[in-house]
Amino acid sequence: MTLDRITPRKTRVGLVAGGLGAYWPQFPALLPQLQESARRVSSRLSGMDCEVVDVGFVSDAVEGAAAAEKLRAAGCDLIVGFLTTYLTSSMLAPIAQRSDAPVLLLNLQPTEAMDHESFDTGAWLAYCGACPLPEMANAFRRLGVEFRSVSGYLEDERAWTRISRWIKAAGVRAALRHGRHGLLGHLYPGMLDVSTDPTLVSGQLGGHVEILEIDDLRVRVEKVSDDETAARVALAREVFTVDESVVDEDFAWGARVSVALDRLVDDFALDSLAYYHRGLDGETHERVGAGFILGASLLTARGIPAVGEYELRTSLAMLVMDRLGAGGSFTELQALNFHDNVVEMGHDGPAHLGISARKPLLRGLGVYHGKRGWGVSVEFDVKHGPVTLCGLGQRRDGTFTLIAAEGTVVPGPLLRIGNTTSRVDFGCDPGEWTDAWSASGIAHHWALGTGHRVGELTAVADLLGLELTVVRP
């Protein structure tokens, strides 16, 4: 038995290279050299786990307009324009205007520097992709098109690191624009910060929010067979270390709900899920609500973030982090440790198993603190090393913002209460950091992922048109 990750839709990158056609008869060796550079760029992009739609080389505004139509029809998530030498802004303007996708311009000269002693005009022209860059920036902005670029040379790994951030960010944007996000149950009473208008999600991020009821899951739970339940228990025993506190009946119930959650996600084609249901006195709906954590953690590990407390914005933040390859676990503040200068954070709900420092523990709980419910919960320590927090804030006018902070998970004592827990060192006084984080516009919960990701989140915020707040007290 294996826990297979989903295969997300590949990011579709449109590529067009260009130069001024007037140069070709003047310098016969120039065009073949530039076309070879364009092939190298296409090859490097194809190696970034994306689908490249290469429309070739354009030499004038007419060819640029034809390329624009091809790229528009391809439905790209990002357009990459490679400035191999000087070309006019009129050649790329229609591509930027018609593609309905963000545009990234590349200025990658053949090598680190020219050989000034031997170069003639034709050899120099292969290095002057920087020449049209200010022109493009001015023209794009006057046309209402956002401008972004990466300058370097063909084998400049620093430049390719920056390019890869834009490719990843385009994939995140596509995941949100094409995503279907489940919202199951009802608001967690009393938490004014977690409420999110689904129309704002579609309006600002794209995608669709599917409103689900607890009965949508209940009927599927009732159809799960004993054999399917046993198979899910066996899978869980492979994935988790099962603590002696786990009650067999609760384990089997969580496994049954897990199978039903998989069916719910498949039936509604969901890319994420946020849920909450209170229930009362052990009736069926309360039991279904109490059985989420095992199945939600398995879904999250497979690339379908699932969170409690009806936290739609956090499920979206977790989707962002997952698609960046950072994992992304449901997280809140727990306590401050002024002896060790760390902030302790985690949650007693579904966690991203892919970022655990060791085999995660399945622990039995008699009660979920502050909420109705009981059963099994996931407990682990996030991998030690660099981490990034990412949350989706919402202003008074409804505008979403991205909020992030980078820190380091360090070893030390942890609570053993069925929570995912991390001790995060932000390089400053824990109290000062907590005040700054709380003042940023973040809500009760956020996603915690591995690696330092502010560079990638900067690109994500740019492509989504959101303000990014980075907390660095």
Number of domains making up the chain: 2
Same domain, 148 and 191: no
Same domain, 272 and 142: no
- CATH classification at residue 156: 3.40.50.10940
Residue 2 lies in a domain: no
Q: What is the model's pLDDT at position 2? A: 63
Q: What is the model's pLDDT at position 377? A: 85
pLDDT band of residue 445 (cuts 50, 70, 90) is very high
Look up the domain containing 318 and give its range: 179-470
Same domain, 145 and 209: no
- CATH classification at residue 229: 3.20.14
pLDDT in tens, 277-289: 988 888 999 999 8
Residue 435 lies in a domain: yes
Residue 113 lies in a domain: yes
- Section 222-250 average pLDDT: 95
- Section 149-161 average pLDDT: 98
- Section 410-425 average pLDDT: 86
Q: What is the model's pLDDT at position 335? A: 95
pLDDT exceeds 80 at position 374? no
Q: What is the model's pLDDT at position 276? A: 92
pLDDT exceeds 80 at position 34? yes
Same domain, 169 and 230: no
Pairing between β-strand 385-394 and β-strand 400-409 as defined by DSSP bridges: antiparallel
**Mean pLDDT score of the chain:** 94
Same domain, 328 and 417: yes
Q: What is the model's pLDDT at position 56? A: 97
pLDDT exceeds 90 at position 418? no
Q: What is the model's pLDDT at position 188? A: 85
Same domain, 299 and 443: yes
pLDDT band of residue 473 (cuts 50, 70, 90) is confident
- Of 135, 157, 176, the last residue of a domain is 176
Residue 5 lies in a domain: no
Q: What is the model's pLDDT at position 231? A: 97
Same domain, 341 and 417: yes
Residue 169 lies in a domain: yes
Residue 60 lies in a domain: yes
pLDDT band of residue 368 (cuts 50, 70, 90) is low
Residue 4 lies in a domain: no
pLDDT band of residue 376 (cuts 50, 70, 90) is confident
Q: What is the model's pLDDT at position 420? A: 82
User: Do 285 and 214 form a contact (C-beta atoms < 8 A)?
Assistant: yes
Q: What is the model's pLDDT at position 383? A: 93
Please state, for a pLDDT cut of 90, what percent of the chain lies above it: 84
- Section 102-129 average pLDDT: 96
Q: What is the model's pLDDT at position 366? A: 63
- Section 354-377 average pLDDT: 75
Q: What is the model's pLDDT at position 44? A: 97
Same domain, 171 and 307: no
Same domain, 217 and 243: yes
Same domain, 216 and 162: no
Same domain, 369 and 226: yes
- Of 125, 142, 176, the last residue of a domain is 176
Residue 152 lies in a domain: yes
Same domain, 128 and 62: yes
